[in-house]
Amino acid sequence: MDGASVVAFTDTYLPTVNGVTYTIKTWRERWERRGGRMDVVFPETTDHDPDRGEYPVRSIAFPFYDGFRVAAPRVPRRVRRGDVDVVHSHTPFSLGLAGLRLASRRDVPFVASYHTPTAEYADYLTSNARLENGIEQLSTRYERWFLSHAAAVIVPSDETRDRLARVGVESDISVVQNGVDIEQFAPVDATAFRERHGLDGDTLVGYTGRHGFEKRLPDIVRAADGLDDVTVVFGGDGPARESVERLAARHDIDARFFGFLPREALPAFYSALDVFAFPSPVETQGLVALEAIACGTPVVGVREGALRDTIDDGITGYHYEPGDIDGFRDGIRRALDEYDTLRENCLARREPISVERAVDDLEAVYDRVRQVASPRV
């Protein structure tokens, strides 16, 4: 499908730092290297100057989740009138609906990526248990309706594919990993990083990413309580950060909080770690875990959601059962004891988790949907 024109719609894009943003950015770069075109429609913000092929849409801040914006469900004029072979939505919300409308009007295939289980974020909207349950059910029904209009739904893991099948999504569901830019994410000498942050010689257990309440980051602190001579390091930021800092102080844990790290600093961050800790049960893949693995760092994460697949138990790290803090702690101990072997196993996984492999699979999906009908509306 060389030379195909794709229009991607997303509710999260630069300068927001998260896995969705960087997946879209990296896919776009690789797609255009192959001679294609991938334009992006995203919420307008004063903090990002659009590049060629980037089309902002007027938006407002989303009051319940800091850093996210809600855009009007519209298609920019230049996109409406331009060439398009496939519409690819990375959101089920306003801009996703705009993408579905464009695909229908232009009679081209509509593809939807499923990045985030929206029902898991109901507690940002309300603290009332009954209302939260109602929002979760409504979110699931809406996702099912939206995704069932797609010629293909792309998910990053087998677990996510199975979840969508269980809730009744009727479209073809294809597993395409987000992929890691292994040109960037590779083992590096982290001596300078450690010295700069006063960590030289420390045993480091860490996490980077959004500090959302749904990520269960306090569990890292609880697991570290009882580990000898371990420093816990956190990259990233978000609404849960203050509560994690308070818990670390209460448990007298040596914890350092770096805030958002520049993308170019992340390989050194991952390479500095002895273990990447990942307690989040809501991941559809967990891109940061794959980035850590690509840098040779073992991952210890909860046996829940996509982390069941992302972590190869006993090979690239260890699982623990949800809520089992002792099991989390034991997994970290095992990973530290077996660091050299796990590191070699992680490095052997670099090619299979690369973004090049992901874009090969993405191209196969685009080829397939172009041979069938346009969106089911």
Looking at the domain assignment, is residue 174 inside a domain? yes
Task: Identify the sign of the CA torsion 33, 39, 40, 46.
Answer: positive
Residue 83's region, left for phi above 0, alpha for psi from -120 to 50, else beta, is beta
Question: CB-based contacts of 164: which residues, under 8 Å, 6+ apart?
Answer: 114, 147, 153, 155, 173
337-361 mean pLDDT? 97
Is residue 374 in some structural domain? no
Mark residue 361 as left, alpha or beta (left: phi above 0; alpha: psi -120 to 50; beta: remaining). Answer: alpha
> CA dihedral defined by 352, 354, 357, 363, rounded to 10 degrees?
150
Give the position of tokens 């090979």.
315
Q: Is residue 185 part of a domain?
A: no
Q: Hunting for tokens 């309580």 — which residue is that? A: 225
Predicted pLDDT of residue 189: 97
- What is the distance between the alpha carbons of residues 126 and 132, in angstroms, rounded to a whole number? 6
Same domain, 162 and 273: no
Mean pLDDT score across all residues of the chain: 91
The model's confidence at residue 63, banded by pLDDT at 50, 70 and 90, is low
pLDDT at position 375 = 54
Together in a domain, 73 and 218: no
pLDDT tens-digit series, residues 90-102: 999 999 999 999 9
**Does 375 reside within a domain?**
no
Length of the chain equals 377
In a domain, 186, yes or no: no
CATH number at residue 261: 3.40.50.2000
Q: What pLDDT sits at residue 148?
A: 95
Q: How many domains does the chain have?
A: 2
Within a domain: residue 211? yes
Task: Please tell me whether residues 306 and 358 are part of one structural domain.
Answer: no
Q: Is residue 270 part of a domain?
A: yes
Nearest to 375 by CA among 68, 92, 109, 157: 109
126 domain-assigned = yes
* 328 token code pair: 């989390």
Residue 14's pLDDT band, with cuts at 50, 70 and 90, is confident
Asked if residue 113 and residue 26 are part of one domain, the reply reads yes
Q: What is the predicted pLDDT for the residue at 47?
A: 82
- Domain co-membership, 128 together with 234: no
Q: Against a cut of 0.75, is the pTM above it?
A: yes
Does residue 122 register a pLDDT over 60?
no
Do residues 15 and 140 share a domain? yes
Instruction: Provide mean pLDDT across the span 197-208.
Output: 95
User: Quick one: 128 and 198 in the same domain?
Assistant: no
Q: Is residue 124 over pLDDT 60?
A: no
91 and 166 together in one domain:
yes
Query: CA-CA distance, 140 to 23, in Å (whole number)?
Result: 24
Domain shared by 109 and 201, yes or no: no
Structural domain containing residue 37: 5-179+354-369
- Pair 174, 197 in one domain: no
Q: Are residues 131 and 227 in the same domain?
A: no
